[in-house]
Amino acid sequence: MLSGAGMDYDDLVSLRFFLTSAAHDPENVDILREHLGDHRACRTVVVQQLLEPHWLIEVEAIAAKVDDPAAL
């Protein structure tokens, strides 16, 4: 989805993770490091039951493309 909008992981500004158990968080962090490297988007982790019983995680991501980063 990001590439279709001319974006990549560096354009992620916010990530919200819904985990079925806090025990999944260390693995979630490892996967983030693997895919995002040093990029740091705002992150929220919520532990709750998901509607699909076989899911362990649901992710909501927001990305924004800035034409002139110096303008920030």
- CATH number for the domain spanning 41: value is 3.30.1330.40
d(CA 51, CA 70): 42
Residue 72 lies in a domain: no
Q: Quick check: 56 and 25 in contact, CB under 8 A?
A: no
Total number of domains in the chain? 1
pLDDT of residue 65: 86
Residue 54 lies in a domain: yes
Spans of the chain, pLDDT less than 50: none
**Helices then strands, each counted (H, E), the chain:** 1, 3
pLDDT of residue 67: 76
Instruction: Write out the residue range of the structural domain in which residue 33 sits.
Output: 3-67
d(CA 50, CA 9): 25
